[in-house]
Homo-oligomer: A and B are copies of this chain.
Amino acid sequence: MTIKLDPWGAAIPESYARIMEEFGISSFEKILHSVPEPSPLMKRNVIFGHRDFGRVLDAIKKGEKFAAMTGLMPSGRMHIGHKLVIDQLIWYQNHKSDIFLCVADLEAYSARGISFEQSRKLAIEEYLANYQALGLDVERCHVYFQSTSSTVRHLAFLLSKRVNFSEMKAIYGFVGESSISHVFYPMIDIADILHPQLEEFGGPRPTVIPVGIDQDPHIRLARDVAARFQKEFKFILPSSTYQRLLPGLTGEKMSSSKPETAVFLTDSDEEIKKKLRNAFTGGLPTAAEQRKVGGDFTKCRIYELYVYHLIPDDEKLEEIRELCKSGKMICGECKTKAIELMRAYLVEHRAKYKRALPKVKKIVEKA
């Protein structure tokens, strides 16, 4: 059976292992031992897969140049799930990577009808200022907008000469009603991924793109296209890492368009309280029952927040797991703890955001 990944859909893949095998994604766990100073996300298997990450590790170890890139589609508010990618970029920046941040305003226009002015405002206020507040040094990043990057659009057109409609249809499932901007858009995505290797942006070098597994079709196409233009551009096939998706608080996928599923970095204390109180857990119908049998943290959205963001210390995390399993701490108490941690985190984040915003505005003006 062929599993079709749809980068624009919202389905959470059922079995990562099966997809990894089918599409040739390697296990990150198996190379973890060779990663210098692995991040909590790496150690906890939140980053579970990769393609050709070895060449990025080599570059890090040898002190050679490499790049990391990500795109942001300014379609709504930045939630804590988005933070996953930024945490990785910070790790790369600390390991001397060039960082490319692409504001996907052409995608926002093509897929959601968002105007370029609106995209610009959202990109700065909802995304880039948060990135800076999270610890990414935006000033040292190459920030650009798809709509104004002549180079990327030009490259997209060049590369599209060796990609045919059948291939694109097989990957993205286009139909007759698909607009031409929709059909062409993936080529811009490919150009985003490959342009850091153009001479004017630093030349051919290892590049890593941290993505969710639903973005793998873009990565595969980018790698194929890179190979087809070896002669002209000497592209090194881009590497990728795959992080698990932070599941939504309610059980659905976390999504900006469904506020109840996500913690936003700009949520108020009241909103945090309400959302976390209503979160889906692995608890039992009654407190008495749960105290007796214990909870199931593997199903719990609060536990996921601990793993992904709130408790970087492995021993403390272990402690909570035990308290849950043994029934010594039931969901109400645990939620109170999570709300406290999240509030404390966001109070600090808000202060950082306030300082970051004017700085980022200035940086982007120059972009």
Contacts and interface: CB of A to CB of B under 8 A. Distances in A.
Q: How large is the interface on A (under 10, 10 to 19, 20 to 34, 35 or more residues)?
A: 20 to 34
A238 B106 CA distance: 27
A15 interface: no
A179 B157 contact: no
Number of identical monomers bound together in the oligomeric complex:
2
Nearest to A147: B154
Given A150-B150, A154-B153, A174-B165, A160 B179 contact: yes
A178 interface: yes
Contacts of A162: 179
A37 B158 CA distance: 45
A318 B178 CA distance: 56
Given A153-B154, A154-B153, A183-B184, A166 B160 contact: no
Interface in A181-212: 181-184, 187
B176 A161 contact: no
B147 A165 contact: no
A168 interface: yes
Given A153-B157, A184-B157, A163 B147 contact: no
Interface of A: 106, 109-110, 113, 147-148, 150, 153-154, 157-158, 160-166, 168-169, 174-184, 187
5 contacts: A148-B150, A153-B154, A153-B157, A163-B179, A165-B174
